[in-house]
Amino acid sequence: MPPDQIVGAEILKVIYAQAGISIEVIPLSGKRSLLESSQGRLDGEVNRILEIGSIYPGLIRVPTATNYIEQTIFSKDITFRLNNCESL
């Protein structure tokens, strides 16, 4: 599991524990977890981008944010300019 999902899983455990609900997080690959959750064999996903809901309509987005990821680019070239995703 990537670090952001590990942190997200721990945050969810604390949130649900405060509501008196225990959860189990099962580490799976991205494709496998989408297959399992979208077919109803697992209850959900820890972290996903917003567009997943339109690709997998059986997954319902919980609108309350519990964390976020801020992407950052590092470069040794001080003249590096980022205009859009394609310029990466």
**Per-residue model confidence (pLDDT) at position 88:** 72
Report the C-alpha gap between 19 and 8 in whole angstroms. Answer: 17
Q: What is the count of structural domains for the chain?
A: 1
**Per-residue model confidence (pLDDT) at position 71:** 77
User: In this structure, are residues 15 and 36 in contact, taking their beta carbons and an 8 Å threshold?
Assistant: no
Task: Give the domain range for residue 68.
Answer: 1-88
Looking at the whole model, is its pTM more than 0.75? no
Q: Which DSSP string do the residues of 9-65 spell out, in sequence order?
A: HHHHHHHHHHTT---------HHHHHHHHHTTSSS--SS--TTHHHHSTTS----S-
**Average pLDDT along the chain, 88 residues, taken 10 residues at a time:** 86 94 92 92 88 89 82 77 77
**Per-residue model confidence (pLDDT) at position 49:** 84
